[in-house]
Amino acid sequence: MHTREDEPRTDVVRTLDLPARRNGPAVAALVLSLIAIAVSVLAAVLLAWYADRTQPCHRPDRFRQYRECVQQQFHRG
């Protein structure tokens, strides 16, 4: 005699598998958000470092003078 207990329990397997499928996009969004935050922080740090390094050059009369001043600041060490 064939009973319901003899059938494979696909409904249980599907139920257990659903949370993993639902969390996938959320985990991906979290990872992408963390990467975006890290890139933003790195960009802010680099911008602050560049501004500090080139501070004497912020009042040039012409762009060429600014460029030369920046090159001098970076070649100094």
The DSSP annotation for the chain comes to ---GGGS--HHHHHHHHHHHHHHHHHHHHHHHHHHHHHHHHHHHHHHHHHHHHTGGGSS-SSHHHHHHHHHHHHHH-
Q: How many domains does the chain have?
A: 1
Identify the pLDDT of residue 22: 75
Provide the pLDDT for residue 76.
Answer: 77
Q: What is the pLDDT of residues 26-59, one digit of tens each?
A: 899 999 999 999 999 999 999 999 999 988 887 7
pLDDT tens digits along 7-35: 555 555 555 555 556 778 889 999 999 99
What's the pLDDT at 57?
86
Residue 48 confidence (pLDDT): 96
Prediction pTM value = 0.59
Range of the domain at 36: 4-76
